[in-house]
Amino acid sequence: MNAAAYEQRTLPRPLPVGQAGRHTPGWWGMLALIGTEASIFAYLIFSYFYLQSQTSQPWPPSGPPSLHLAVPSTVLLLASIATMWWAESRLRLGRMAMVYTGLVLTLLLGVAYVVLQCVDWHLQPFLPSSNAHASLYYAITALHVLHAATAVVMLAAMIWWCALGHIDAQHHTAVTIAALYWYFVVAVWIAVFITLYLMPWIDPH
Amino acid sequence: MLRAATIVALALVPAAARPASPMTYMVSSGPAANPTTALGWGLLGLSVFVAAFIACAVLIGIWWKRGDGAYDGNGWPVVSRGRNGLPWLLIGVPVSVVLLLASAIWTFHVLDAIAAPPKKAPITLLVTAHQWWWEVRYQRTDDPKSGFETANEIHVPVGVPVRLRLSSADVIHSFWVPQLAGKTDAIPGQVNLAWLEADRPGMYRGQCTEFCGMQHAHMALYVIAQSASAFRAWWQYQTRDAAMPTAQAAASGSAVFGSRCAICHTVRGRPGSQGGLGPDLTHLMSRRTIAAGTLPNTIGNLAGWVSDAPSLKPGVAMPRENLDGPQLQALLAYLQTLK
Amino acid sequence: MAVNSTYHTPAIVTPDKGLKRKLESMWSDPPGRYGWLATTDHKMIGKRYLVTAFVFLILGGLEALGMRLQLAQPNEHLLPPELYNQFFSMHGMTMIFLYSLPILSGFSNYLWPLILGTRDMAFPRLNAFTYWVFLLAGIFLYIGFWEGKGTDVGWFNYVPLASRAYDPDWNVDIYSLGMVFLGISTTAGAVNFIATMFRTRAPGMSISRVPIMIWGTLVANIGILFAVPAVSLDFLLLWLDRRFGTQFFDVSGGGRPLLWQHLFWIFGHPWVYAIVLPAMSIVSQGLPVYCRRPLVAHSAVVLATILTMVLGFGVWVHHMFATGLPPIAMGYFAAASFVIVIPSAVSVFAWVATIWTGRPVFTTAFKFFVAEIVLFVIGGVSGFMTASVPLDLQLTDTYFVVAHIHYVLIGINVFPVVGGIYHWFPKMTGRLMDERLGRWNFWLMFIGFNLGFFPMHISGLEGMPRRIYTYPANMGWGNLNLITTIGSFVFALGVLLFVINVIRSRSRGERASANPWDASTLEWATESPPPSYNFAVIPRVASLHPLWESRLDERSRSTLHEGPVLDDGHQLPGTTPLDAEPDVILDMPSLTLAPLVTALLIAGTFLGLLLTTWWLAGACMLAMIPTLLWWLWPRAEAGWAVDA
């Protein structure tokens, strides 16, 4: 078969080189990573409900937790979805000033969440070694804080690369992938918040 | 392949030509195990048939001389689409499904049969597994305050179901007397219910079957099934406290016991011996074995065990007792009175 | 899709020497230490996995031989219980975690890009990283063993025996942290395989044209993605209990020992499918070559593979039937465990049908693949017996289960692996393995294996419990154990012959052509061994058997000898997930030390955690930030906005 016949059959067309939004392997890699990380939280939440089902004692032993810091944390993280989405959409249009604003705001919201969570730990009446509920509470929230901190570092890298000019309207795949991770972190928080903070109030054991 | 089959068969001949092991469950002696034994033989037979069938199909398939086909330049048969092979699946898979369904139905039937005793169990045993011995407390089911405590050797009346409440004082163990019932784990923090019943008199061996540490290999037990009258007599006997020793050797042995053994071991009737870390020794000499089925209960073994348990069962909690000759003799004399 | 600034239309050419030289210079690693340490070539990484996994197989095998010597006769005193318990625990851990998956990763890493008609995996640096983490985690898991502190409470590590109260020394801490460490490699590998399968196949290789070997590994890795977190979490929680006094498993604090078992087996059961499905697909891929016809019912086998993995997540409680769970739960899991036999039956009948309707050629590889079928069925039926709850209450924790697991693991993993080496060795090295030595190798392994493990069915049915370092003389188990010991040494001799064959054939084997077995898939279209760039021009695939199309009278023909040349850099095409139409040109990273450095930092972190040297752990974790920035730094070729 000669080149002409091949050409007719397969019609090669101009293909983008490198970044191609959701067509890069990186997007799939991030989806797979999210799948596995979400599983860890799913298993932790399974452990929480399993141990709850096996005990006849009150669960949590110290009563339903205070929502004073958890609710603001949730609000902050939900707001960060909006800022992240906004930054992403401005990036596609090349409005870099707004991109910086959005990314920096998102990062600050993330940092604020981490700080609030640390304060909330300090205010809890129990230690990780107090009982099984306490151990799970700290394990779940600590793991989440670790994920949030990782997302914050990722965002900082994105901001830096924007400043260096490596990210712009035509080359934005990295931000798309980092944003996906950010949304995942917030989604996990919703699940954690409902499990640890809301369920004890809604359905006391 | 034929050579392989012959070698395997020869290997099995010595295996087949000898009496069954005391721990086999392919024969059983009670309603908690009998339905399972039948199921075991049935599924084993089915399994052997399936394995043999596929092995034959494979062997015939590779050796069967096909009609002459074309060969390529390298002397290999030419590649071709081949005949339709789907019938193998269209027949094989549905047949497999039917066999699986039948096995599942039989399984659920047996599961139902062994789930609970056929009639109410008048006796309950509270079995607490320890590293590496079995604590057994006997009770009449309707009178929890009745009963007594022994260790490692269990007596049951023939034809009467016995309820078991299993737990553990330390790690996970598993209670298993193959010819009387399947296994049930003894897990700390929970009580697992089981039951067994012996339909004929005899001595049935059991062993711990969940890895529980250094001496998991030496955590056996014996279940002795007796006639109703013999069992009643045994029960009466076991409820009695130990008599105070009168002979001089035994009396001084009792003093040795008090200073060395009473911290861990209970002897009912001997003041100051309420230790709960080791087996109850009130009727030690009525047991056929010591060290959880490890050694026959002879004077020689007892002497060796008492003076240096870790050398016989490394890792055991019972320490090496540095007893000199007279002390050991006295202690043995005392232990011999714990009939 | 967003607008990108760089577009390129690939030219269609027939490869000539000039093109090949250019590609070779771009894709090959420079000689020397740097090239060796910084390579991201999937073929190098695949071979490293194979060799390293084999070393662990030998280590695990030596542990087993030690155990067999101890058990050959009743009341032996060769191995005291402290040592025996370490041997059986390390043996299980080594075989199940350090051999059985990594060996299959080795095959997959080497072969996937070749079979898929592309030039590299989707994430070459991540690929290198997974190997380094595997190697370092394997070393980490063994550091205690030489000091007599190997893990010693079984590879399944049940609490409370594994808790600090009953095992206070380093043993379980090394195991726990090492497993979390190793899990990083396994998970990253899974991410790589999934992205590769869906994004970098050859143009035209639509889903229905993807060879079966890819399916086995893909399905296993999707399972790994969701199963490994359970065990990593389990071990992490245990380490926290041991180190910080948390109460996940401690009854006194509201924890439960059974939580350990649930998390462990939620991982453990899918894991056993992860370590056999790729090996089964090796047989599905290789057996038809030696039967001179395509696999019977290819689509059914693909679906059966997927169904097995899916069902594999729903049967874990069958490892816990004796723990006192409610009968209704046990009934459900027993039913599911019966159902999972069905897809296995599909594969077995497909293989048998392929043999019957094919024309067998008796190479060594063929013998191993055929043996797998028979051993699979024996292992499968013993497994079926344990699915029946009441019978399992007798069989579990006896040598019957030991027989079952070895028939499935050695029969469905080791035999196809050895057969797979005989099959692909010519491709990897350019030389054929010796067939005469191969005959001896096969028969010693086959006879030794059956002599060793078949009697375990009998000693199991005769009540011999597992994990005992010795047994009394009057149980009737002595002769069976002696036969098993003899058989295991015969098997070991067979393995030794295999190793000798590999080593000798590397230098003295007969030279192999590109396709010595006249096989059908794309890896056989390259030279033996393949050049660093795999394919000079990108193939266009038109069927499941590109190299057999004329013989099978396929309607369309694949194009292998001309195609798009992607030589502007380290390039390969990205294709759509289902139809494999090209939609992007990807530029692959090449040499970099970043994966190795990252792996070393992770090792440092775990070492710090083990020794509770918190500053070391913290410093290594923080150092990963600049390292990962280095790894991921924007590259102009990959399409970032970088002034070149």
Q: Which of residues 205-234 of B touch C (CB under 8 A)?
A: 207-217
Report the pLDDT value the prediction gives residue A22, as an integer from 0 to 100. Answer: 79
Report the pLDDT value the prediction gives residue C554, as an integer from 0 to 100. Answer: 83
Give A56 or C306, the one with higher predicted confidence.
Answer: C306
Are the C-beta atoms of A131 and C245 separated by less than 8 Å?
Answer: no
Burial of residue C541 (CB within 10 Å: 0-12, 13-18, 19+) is: buried
User: Which of C4, C126, C190 lies closest to A20 in CB terms?
Assistant: C4
Arithmetic mean of pLDDT over chain C: 95
Decide: helix, strand or coil at residue C591.
coil
- Chain A residues within 8 A of C7 when measuring between CB atoms: 14-17
Whether C253 has its CB under 8 Å from any CB of chain A: the answer is: yes
Report the pLDDT value the prediction gives residue B5, as an integer from 0 to 100. Answer: 52
Are residues B208 and C467, on separate chains, in Cβ contact within 8 Å?
Answer: no
Q: Residue C310's closest CA among C268, C282, C273?
A: C273
CA B197 – CA C114 distance, rounded (Å): 63
CA B241 – CA C384 distance, rounded (Å): 51
Give B20 or B268, the one with higher predicted confidence.
Answer: B268
Measured between CA atoms, the residue of chain C closest to residue B189 is: C251
Strand B162-168's sheet: what is its strand order? B143-151, B133-140, B123-130, B162-168, B192-196
Q: In sequence order, what are the beta bridge partners of C465? A: C398
User: C45-67 b/e with 16+ CB inside 10 Å = b?
Assistant: bbbbbbebbbebbebbbebbbbb
Neighbouring chains of C at 3+ CB pairs within 8 Å?
A, B
CA C468 – CA C87 distance, rounded (Å): 12
Model confidence at A1: pLDDT above 70: no
Q: In sequence order, what are the beta bridge partners of C150? A: none
DSSP string, C480-549: HHHHHHHHHHHHHHHHHHHHHHHHHHHHHSPB--S-TT---SGGGGS-SSPPTTS-SS--B--SS-GGGH
Whether C440 has its CB under 8 Å from any CB of chain B: the answer is: no
Report the pLDDT value the prediction gives residue C590, as an integer from 0 to 100. Answer: 84
Q: Which of residues 332-371 of C touch B (CB under 8 A)?
A: 334-335, 338-339, 341-342, 345-346, 348-350, 352-362, 370
DSSP B169: S
Are residues B182 and C359, on separate chains, in Cβ contact within 8 Å?
Answer: no
Residue C614, min C-alpha distance to chain A (Å) = 16
Six-digit token string for B77: 């048969």
Are residues A35 and C563, on separate chains, in Cβ contact within 8 Å?
Answer: no
CA dihedral C307, C312, C313, C317 (to 10 degrees): 140
ipTM: 0.95
Residue C152, min C-alpha distance to chain A (Å) = 26
Whether C629 has its CB under 8 Å from any CB of chain A: the answer is: yes
- Chain A residues within 8 A of C199 when measuring between CB atoms: 23-25, 28
Q: How confident is the model at residue B6 (pLDDT cuts 50, 70, 90)?
A: low
The distance between the two most distant Cα atoms of chain C, rounded to a whole number of Å, is: 82
DSSP C265: H
Six-digit token string for A165: 């000019």
What would the pLDDT profile of C127-176 be if each residue is shown by its tens digit?
A: 999 999 999 999 999 998 988 899 999 999 999 999 999 999 999 999 99
CA B146 – CA C398 distance, rounded (Å): 36
Six-digit token string for C48: 């490293």
Neighbouring chains of A at 3+ CB pairs within 8 Å?
C
Are the C-beta atoms of C349 and B93 separated by less than 8 Å?
Answer: yes
User: Which of B33, B80, B166 lies closest to C292 in CB terms?
Assistant: B80
Six-digit token string for C599: 């792996």
Q: How confident is the model at residue C2 (pLDDT cuts 50, 70, 90)?
A: very low
- Chain B residues within 8 A of C446 when measuring between CB atoms: 4
CA C372 – CA C218 distance, rounded (Å): 21
- Chain A residues within 8 A of C13 when measuring between CB atoms: 3
- Side-chain half-sphere of C208: how many Cα atoms within 13 Å? 4
Q: How many residues does chain A have?
A: 205
Q: What angle do CA C110, C111, C112 make, to 5 degrees?
A: 110
Six-digit token string for B127: 């079995």
User: Which of C255, C584, C641 lies closest to A51 in CB terms?
Assistant: C255
Model confidence at C4: pLDDT above 50: no
Burial of residue C353 (CB within 10 Å: 0-12, 13-18, 19+) is: buried
Q: Which of B54, B96, B191, B288 to mutate to test the interface with C (most CBs of C within 10 A)?
A: B54
Q: Which residues contact C147 (CB under 8 A, 6 or more apart)?
A: none
Are residues C390 and B35, on separate chains, in Cβ contact within 8 Å?
Answer: yes
Report the pLDDT value the prediction gives residue B339, as an integer from 0 to 100. Answer: 87
Arithmetic mean of pLDDT over chain A: 91
Six-digit token string for C373: 């079928």
At B128, which helix (H) or strand (E)?
Answer: strand B123-130
- Chain C residues within 8 A of A167 when measuring between CB atoms: 634, 640-641
CA C161 – CA A41 distance, rounded (Å): 26
Assign 3-state DSSP to chain C and report helix, strand, coil percentages, each to 5. Answer: 65, 5, 30
Model confidence at B11: pLDDT above 60: no
Model confidence at B62: pLDDT above 70: yes
CA C71 – CA C78 distance, rounded (Å): 9
Q: Residue C47's closest CA among C60, C95, C228, C55?
A: C55
Q: What number is the average pLDDT over the span C108-120?
A: 97
Whether B97 has its CB under 8 Å from any CB of chain C: the answer is: yes
C-alpha distances in Å from residue C552, one per residue of A60, A107, C282, C555: 67, 60, 22, 9
What would the pLDDT profile of B283-297 be if each residue is shown by its tens digit?
A: 999 999 999 999 999
Amino acid B270 reads R
CA dihedral B146, B151, B155, B156 (to 10 degrees): 60
Termini Cα distance of chain A: 74
Whether C307 has its CB under 8 Å from any CB of chain B: the answer is: no
Arithmetic mean of pLDDT over chain B: 91
CA B91 – CA C56 distance, rounded (Å): 42
DSSP C559: B
Are residues A3 and C233, on separate chains, in Cβ contact within 8 Å?
Answer: no
CA C73 – CA C478 distance, rounded (Å): 6
Rg over CA atoms, chain B: 28
Are residues B182 and C85, on separate chains, in Cβ contact within 8 Å?
Answer: no
CA B195 – CA B189 distance, rounded (Å): 20
Q: How many residues does chain C have?
A: 644
Six-digit token string for C304: 């059966």
Q: Residue C250's closest CA among C236, C238, C234, C262?
A: C238
What would the pLDDT profile of C541-587 be if each residue is shown by its tens digit?
A: 999 999 999 999 888 899 999 899 888 889 999 999 999 999 899 98
Are residues A15 and C266, on separate chains, in Cβ contact within 8 Å?
Answer: no
Are residues A153 and C625, on separate chains, in Cβ contact within 8 Å?
Answer: yes
CA C420 – CA C283 distance, rounded (Å): 8
Q: Residue C244's closest CA among A144, A196, A138, A147?
A: A138
CA B195 – CA B186 distance, rounded (Å): 13
Least confident interval from A11-25, B51-65, B93-107, B147-161: A11-25
Inter-axis angle of helices C257-274 and C212-244, nearest 10: 160
Are residues A47 and C248, on separate chains, in Cβ contact within 8 Å?
Answer: yes
Q: Residue B119's closest CA among B153, B159, B170, B75?
A: B159
What would the pLDDT profile of C469-479 be if each residue is shown by its tens digit?
A: 999 999 999 99
Are residues A35 and C585, on separate chains, in Cβ contact within 8 Å?
Answer: no
DSSP string, C290-356: HHTSPPTTHHHHHHHHHHHHHHHTT-GGGG-GGG---HHHHHHHHHHHHHTHHHHHHHHHHHHHHHH
Q: Which of C262, C394, C515, C553 to mutate to test the interface with B (most CBs of B within 10 A)?
A: C394
Q: Residue C297's closest CA among B88, B55, B92?
A: B88
- Chain B residues within 8 A of C450 when measuring between CB atoms: 4, 7-8
Are the C-beta atoms of A192 and A120 separated by less than 8 Å?
Answer: no
Six-digit token string for B43: 């599924």
Q: Which residues contact B232 (CB under 8 A, 6 or more apart)?
A: B157
Six-digit token string for C231: 């065990």
CA C112 – CA A47 distance, rounded (Å): 37
Q: What number is the average pLDDT over the span C604-620?
A: 97
What would the pLDDT profile of C221-253 be if each residue is shown by its tens digit?
A: 999 999 999 999 999 999 999 999 999 999 999
Q: What angle do CA B158, B159, B161 make, to 5 degrees?
A: 105
Q: What number is the average pLDDT over the span A178-185?
A: 97
Q: How many residues does chain B have?
A: 339
Model confidence at B14: pLDDT above 70: no
Are residues B21 and C359, on separate chains, in Cβ contact within 8 Å?
Answer: no
Residue A198, min C-alpha distance to chain C (Å) = 21
Count the neighbouring beta carbons within 10 Å of the beta carbon of residue C482.
17
Are the C-beta atoms of C432 and C510 separated by less than 8 Å?
Answer: yes
Whether B188 has its CB under 8 Å from any CB of chain C: the answer is: yes
Model confidence at B8: pLDDT above 80: no
C-alpha distances in Å from residue B305, one per residue of B325, B335, C141, C594: 14, 12, 38, 61
